[in-house]
Structure 1
Amino acid sequence: MEESQKILIVDDEKDLCEILQFNLESEGFSIDIAHSGEEALDKPIEDFDLILLDIMMGGISGFKTANIIRKDRGFQVPIIFLTAKGEENDVLTGFNVGADDYISKPFSIKEVVARIKAILKRGKKKADEKTNIVYKELIVNQKQKEIFLDGQNISLTRKEFEILLLLMKNMDQYISRDEILKRIWDDDVIVTERNVDVNIARLRKKIGAYATNIKGKSGYGYCFKDKN
């Protein structure tokens, strides 16, 4: 049986969330809910197939939330904005921060379902292609959390895997030790930049010829460099 596609609903109107959840689950989708942008960003964004995102919320706005998902974290999950506003400027802002679609409130549930199915169908092939991040003979499978080097599965710890994934998704861009700590060790209490250096050293040993692609630069952090 095919696994249900996962949708994250982000809206501070709890009644609306419940209505959307009931109807979308009736269509066979798996639903999770966040009532703020901050709550949404604490969830594993990479696990969702689509996000329904309200623009006007308490705390950070839907625009800011989408910008963090797209630019800061590098996730390309489809986003549909939900908003009571219908002004042209809001529509343009939404698309500028990476919206795939835009639905003004009030809306019909049938319209929402139709838009969701259209975007998921359109994006399925594209999403499948992004399951793997590939650099020559080094392959990172994001869904299965596996690394292949010259066709052989290599064993990494969870931290090593997440560091390599982060660096390869941001190829040729330096990421500071502090930023790596925030993204990879956010669940730990006491860590230092030395933790990053130790894991980088172990990671380099495990990825063989590609160890030299991981560059460190004082004051800038680490980067996975394309040496072509």
Structure 2
Amino acid sequence: MKLLLLAQSNLAQLDIKYDHVVDIEGLEQKSFIQKYDLLLADFAFFGTISQYKNLFSYIILLTNMCDEQSYARALQIADDCILWQESKKIEARISYYQKKLYNLQNAIFSYRDLRFDVKRGELFKGRDHIALSNAQKELLLLLLKNMGSYVQKHTILQECDSINSENSIKVLIAKLRGLGFTIESQPSQGYKIVKEKR
């Protein structure tokens, strides 16, 4: 897992391993920051980070005070809100997300008689292999990762490099439905794969 730090004097002094440090302007370089899985940043950058939250698998915000109100606000865009002085907790959470990401990258999603192998990017229906375009693979993975929750159109366009228009999204959704995925849509909320009833 690749870790990116949003630079601030005390942030850069943390005794943890990271791959790169950026400032606020660095976050605007989408092609660069997409290489990283986890963003570690000060709560003071909340407003800026909210614009780029969908580009990272996980975000940890650090703060000097984390009361209930601050924690609830942090969880609007991040996965964790941890006090600066809790260095061991920060390391533990990074380790947890690293394992979680590894499991996701090696996961096989099953949906009815369909199986999607994330690592290989391959879809099977029973024993039959179903060929997918890069755009279909990206969209399917994004929807499966957010199973049961709506993914907005702007998020799809931001996270899927092979999709460049809302019309393309509609076409791809229709194709995935044709393969057997039940996908609901709401104009203001986007699309979601409906969970199977057990």
Q: Name the TM-score, length of structure 2 as normaliser.
A: 0.65
- Change in Cα spacing, 1:140 to 1:9, as seen in structure 2 (3 Å) is farther
Residues 195/18 of structure 1: CA separation in 2 closer, same or farther (3 Å cut): same
Distance (whole Å) between structure 2 residues aligned to residue 221 and residue 160 of structure 1: 16
In the other structure, the counterpart of 2:80 is 100
Q: 1:40 to 1:31 in 2, by over 3 A?
A: farther
Q: Is 2:158 aligned against 1:198? A: no
Secondary structure of 1:52's counterpart equals strand
Q: CA deviation at 1:94?
A: 6.2
Q: Which residue of 2 aligns with 1:223?
A: 192
Q: Secondary structure at the match of 2:44?
A: coil
User: How large is the Cα RMSD of the aligned pairs?
Assistant: 4.2
Match of residue 31 from structure 1:
19
| 1:54 corresponds to | 42
CA distance in structure 1 between the partners assigned to 2:114 and 2:25 by the alignment? 35
Contact 1:10/1:51, CA 8 A, preserved across alignment? yes
Out of 75, 92, 111, the position equivalent to 1:118 is 92
Summarize the Cα distance change of 1:202–1:53 in structure 2 as closer, same or farther, 3 Å threshold.
Answer: same
Note if 1:44 corresponds to 2:17. Answer: no
8 Å contact kept, 2:62–2:81: no
Structure 2 counterpart of 1:161, one-letter code:
K
Report percent identity of matched pairs.
23
5+ residue gaps, structure 1: none
Bigger CA radius of gyration: 1
| 1:181-202 superposed Cα distances (whole Å, 9 cap, x missing partner) | 45436985xx4x3322332344
Partner letter of residue 56 of structure 1? Answer: A
Q: Distance in 1 between matches of 2:97 and 2:190?
A: 34
Secondary structure of 1:156's partner?
Answer: coil
Q: Structure 1 residues 94 and 199 mapped into 2: Cα distance closer, same or farther (>3 Å)?
A: closer
| Residue of structure 1 equivalent to 2:137 | 161
State the SS of the aligned residue for 1:60: helix
Query: Offset of 1:143 from its aligned partner?
Result: 4.7
1:10: Cα distance to partner? 1.6
- Between the two proteins, the alignment pairs up a number of residues equal to 192
| TM-score, normalised by the number of residues in structure 1 | 0.58
Per the alignment, do residues 89 and 167 of structure 1 end up closer, same or farther by CA in structure 2, a change over 3 Å counting? closer
Counterpart check, 1:130 vs 2:118: no
Counterpart CA distance in 2 for 1:35 and 1:122 is 26
Deviating beyond 6 angstroms after TM superposition, the runs of 4 or more aligned structure 1 residues are 217-220
User: Could you tell me which residue of structure 2 aligns to residue 8 of structure 1?
Assistant: 4
Residues 148 and 7 (structure 1), Cα distance of their counterparts in 2 relative to 1, 3 Å cut: farther
